[in-house]
Chain A
Amino acid sequence: MTATVQYDEVEVGQEIPAVDYGVRRLNLVMYAGASGDFNQIHWNERFAKMVGLPDVIAHGMYTMAQAGRFVTDWVGDPGAVVDYGVRFSSMVVVPDDDQGATITVSGVVEEKLPDKRVVVGLTARSGDARVLSKARAVVQLA
């Protein structure tokens, strides 16, 4: 396992530049199939509205996966993620059009731990809403 980010070259407060991730209805259908989460609020507009939602919403886990991808792309090794947790603080509403929604993820090195590990704090936004809170990953650096 080989993280490409060196522990000694990382400083607390260092920012990891934001990346935009798109989410369209197709992504939610694919994610439903791959994950086995077929909750209708993620693909059936009629059902979503019936239970009081504004429209179909993304799986929280789809958003978590995008923020996870942000971390693994930064660190250069998916095996370097030793702890990753989030709270789903707001919905990502995904309209049935060609644009869908956008999830913007950014990060900051919050803490340097022993054994060349760091805590990365993550921010994920969609429109005006912060869709993840308490989002943090502990990663093993080189």
Chain B
Amino acid sequence: MALNRDFVGRSYPAGPPYEVSRVKIREFAAAIGDNNPVYRDREAARAAGHPDVIAPPTFPIVFSLQSGGEALADPDLGLNFAMVVHGEQRFEYVRPVYAGDRLVVTATITDIRSAGRNELLTVRNDVTTVEGEPVCTTYNTIVERGGAA
């Protein structure tokens, strides 16, 4: 079923702040098999010039995956989750993510389009600290296989 184009441009306000913890960064680094000490040890991170443990470049997926989830689950959008695969992903940084950051994410559906038999939907997530300092922007494009058939 084709996705409802009326959803393009809709923004979803930030939920409660996501608090980045050293433990979560360590868990994520372990999951991707990266043993870099700056992901685990505060002193190693400081020695490398960072204020605290730094997050790997793809870490923001942890708190941006569910953003826009409210929209994606809306029956009016017509998305069949069983057929969803990840199409594209991008992280654009103003500064790295560090342990101790308290981040808020505003999600906007920026595009819905067909490609062959598939439907593609892009969510932009604007990530700032609770104080409003910009940290990064992520772009997540999902593919609904067969959605345009």
Q: Tell me the A residues contacting B by CB distance below 8 Å.
A: 1-2, 21-22, 27, 30-31, 33-37, 39, 41, 51-52, 59-62, 64-66, 68-69, 71-73, 77-79, 81-88, 91, 134, 137
Contacts and interface: CB of A to CB of B under 8 A. Distances in A.
Interface residues of B, number: 39
Contact of B58 (A41, A61, A83): A61
Contacts of B83: 51
B93 A83 contact: yes
Nearest to A91: B85
Interface stretch (B9-17, B31-39, B106-114): B31-39
Interface in B84-120: 84-93, 95-96
A104 to B, nearest CB: 15
Contact of B56 (A52, A69, A85, A86): A69
A134 B139 CA distance: 14
B30 interface: yes
A73 B32 CA distance: 13
A35 B86 contact: no
A116 B148 CA distance: 44
A123 B36 CA distance: 22
Interface stretch (B47-55, B71-79, B125-133): B47-55
B65 A35 contact: yes
B62 interface: yes
Nearest to B24: A34
Contact of A85 (B32, B50, B82, B91): B91
26 contacts: A22-B33, A30-B31, A34-B27, A37-B61, A51-B82, A61-B61, A61-B89, A66-B33, A68-B56, A68-B57, A68-B58, A72-B36, A77-B38, A77-B48, A78-B38, A78-B55, A78-B56, A79-B50, A79-B54, A81-B91, A82-B93, A83-B91, A84-B57, A84-B58, A85-B91, A88-B86
Nearest to B66: A36
A121 to B, nearest CB: 15
A85 B88 contact: yes
Nearest to A79: B96
B87 to A, nearest CB: 6
Given A65-B32, A79-B95, A87-B87, 8 more contacts: A33-B27, A33-B31, A39-B84, A73-B36, A77-B49, A84-B57, A86-B90, A88-B87
A85 B84 CA distance: 19
A40 to B, nearest CB: 9
Nearest to A78: B54
